[in-house]
Amino acid sequence: MNMDKIKTLTNGLEMPRLGLGVWRVENSVATDAVKWAIKADYRLIDTATIYKNEAGVGKGIKEAGVDRKDLFITTKLWNSDQGYESTHKAFNDSLERLGLEYVDLYLIHWPVEGKFSASWRAMEEIYESGRAKAIGVSNFHQHHIEELMKTAKIKPMINQIELHPTLTQVPLRDYLAEEGIAVEAWSPLGQGKILENEMLMAIGKNHGKSAAQVIIRWHLQSDIIVIPKSVHEDRIQQNFDVFDFELTDNEMKQIDEMNINERLGADPDNFDF
């Protein structure tokens, strides 16, 4: 399969299908990880206000010396900043910490009840101002999106959700596909917990690849945007070296069947942060 590295969002924006995640990475490490990733040909970086490393990410971007227009930078609105006015302020603060004039994608991090619709109104204005090239949500169930759409003028372009072989989220993915909302996986490697899985390792052996590479390829072949995290240069390189092999239909099916609906993070219907 000749895998395209780019996914075109509903508004025509081109987004890399594979990027680097930097949750639980402190500023100075984030700077190095971003530089290593860009050197290894990554163009998508996924941060968030709550990761407290936007400044480190911004420094990495500057020091990498790649044209800003060739990068795709995502950040997210934290829960305590939700609301109309506070979203505008939080966004401006994120841009300042990143040292950027715009981000490529701004996401509502979690569906804070009673607030996300007002936050979205501000995000629509930010989008219309050109300071976010795309806007979307994260951790939204179908019913959260339906609630948002009651007042939204612009449909979210992405939903970033927990998704890995042991939580494949098929019903939500089917709904998002119908709505034209792109799916992006967080904790795509199951936070590293499924990398010793024997079946994944055996599939990897068929192709001369690691279990991590097999999982990343499974996401890509499933039309899922994927943002594995690593702070090690060799793993960052390895995780991007997935465009020269193809999983068979049978291998894809075997991985699909690993699903046990196992969440590593909170259920978006029941979070307390």
Which residues are near ligand NDP by CB under 6 A?
Answer: 21-23, 46, 109, 138-139, 160, 186-192, 195, 210, 212, 227-232, 235, 238-239, 265
Please pick, among 42, 51, 106, 127, the residue that the annotation labels catalytic: 51
Q: Which is nearer to ligand NDP, 199 or 231 (CB)?
A: 231
Q: Considering beta carbons, is residue 49 or 221 the nearer one to ligand NDP?
A: 49
Minimum distance from CB of 239 to ligand NDP (Å)? 5
Q: How far is the CB of 227 from ligand NDP (least distance, A)?
A: 5
Rounded to the nearest whole angstrom, what is the least distance from the CB of residue 107 to ligand NDP in the complex?
Answer: 7
Given the complex with ligand NDP, which of 126 and 194 has the nearer CB atom?
194
Structural tokens at position 192? 């590293």
d(CA 158, CA 268): 16
Which of 95, 107 has the CB closer to ligand NDP? 107
From the CB of 122, what's the least distance to ligand NDP, in Å?
Answer: 19
Is residue 51 flagged as an active site residue? Answer: yes
Torsion on CA atoms 249, 250, 251, 252, rounded to nearest 10: 50
Cβ-based burial of 180 (10 A; exposed 0-12, middle 13-18, buried ≥19): exposed
| Enzyme catalytic residues | 51
